[in-house]
Amino acid sequence: MPMDRSLYPDNWDELAFQIKTEANWCCTECGRPCRQPGESFDTFLKRCWTPSLEMRYPSYEMDGERRVSKAGRFVLTVAHIDHEPGNCDLTNLKALCAPCHGTYDLKQMGRKRVLKAERNGQLRTDDILNGAQLALLSELVVYQRLDPRSGGRRTMVRKPLDAVGSKRKHRAPGNASGWIEERLGNRKRANPSVSYYYRWDSPKGRVSEYIRASQVTRVARMIEAERPALEILRIVVEGKRKISGVSVELLR
């Protein structure tokens, strides 16, 4: 990927040359030797090639009966340890060959893709099905829809997408309508039992109440309509002899 020169200081070329020289023009990660700009092949071998390096990185390859040089094929680059181009302190720079530099930047590139998609208001299909919500929106949306992967069952999932470094804001506890969680019984059986639980992150703690089969559709519709969670909870626990301590405290 071409570098944006505006993000780097004017003396970047001198700093990069200093880091590469201190590393003897070898990758600090894998030890791969790299040729300097304008350096001849013989000078390169005399400078840093050893029998042990020849075993790991052969200096030539055979093209039929012709021997072709492959030493110095990779370009030596300088990477920022904290991925911040503006921080050019020598302790924040290290010399890496192109393959190692690409591997080192993979994680940060993934984070940038997530943040860019969020800024553009985009979510992947899997994100929506898993209940992901946009982290950079001022007013957050809770995605609570039917999951086609569940075989047509009315399964609600609310799980925020996790990404290191992104500024995530979620609805304050108690404001969301909650969600329905499907639980399977003994999976070794041909037809395992299925049970449904109403879950809600309330100010008093997480609510988890069993839903009767006859109430699942009604509760699902109330969640889709974003009815108040306390109203839904009263429907779920109606007629029950035993409910959780959190529910008792909320319904006082």
Q: 252, 250, 205, 196: which is closest to 228 by C-alpha?
A: 250
Q: For residue range 157-203, what is the model confidence (pLDDT) as tens digits?
A: 343 333 333 333 333 344 467 888 878 777 777 777 778 888 888 87
Report d(CA 178, CA 207) in Å as an integer.
Answer: 9
* Of 41-45, 47-51, 236-240, minimum mean pLDDT range: 47-51
Tokens (6 digits) for 233: 């909870």
At residue 200, the 3 state secondary structure works out as strand
Report d(CA 203, CA 250) in Å as an integer.
Answer: 9
Instruction: State pTM to two decimals.
Output: 0.41
- Return phi, psi of residue 147, to 5°: -100, 110
Q: For residue range 176-189, what is the model confidence (pLDDT) as tens digits?
A: 678 888 787 777 77
Tokens (6 digits) for 227: 């009815």
Q: 131, 134, 135: which is closest to 159 by C-alpha?
A: 131
